Amino acid sequence: MTRAELRDRWEQRKVVLAECGDIRTVRVITLFLADLEDLARDEDDRLLTLKQAADRSGYNAEYLGRLLREGKLQNAGRKGAPRVRLGDLPRRPMNGFAETERKLYDAGADARSLLSRLGER
């Protein structure tokens, strides 16, 4: 479950309880949702090294470093010690078990990808 899904679930519960007239519980849920937003903001502001960012994003540190050098990702650290803000981190789409339809391994695509990377040198 994502933070957005959790927030939406509790927003829906708040609406139902408000319709039922349960004002005290609605107030508690409102406070909970405010705390959840504060937590999300604090987490998003957390600074990560390239290694930590790579572990979180699914991309490797070299790729994230290239994004920083190209200006596609903001460096929240300093030159020689880059940091990436967690909220700015790109997320690589998940493969495997989370997919609804499992894709077969494509050896041709893998070979083309390898050849294109070798050709960049």
Residue 85 CA to residue 49 CA, distance in Å, equals 9
Residue 99 pLDDT:
43
CA-wise closest residue to 36 among 80, 71, 4: 4
By C-alpha distance, which of 42, 40, 41, 66 is closest to 53?
Answer: 66
Q: Whole-model pTM?
A: 0.55
Output the pLDDT for position 31: 95
Among 42, 38, 17, 37, residue whose Cα is nearest residue 27: 17
Instruction: Collect the ranges in the chain with pLDDT lower than 50.
Output: 97-102
DSSP category for residue 98:
G
pLDDT of residue 98: 46
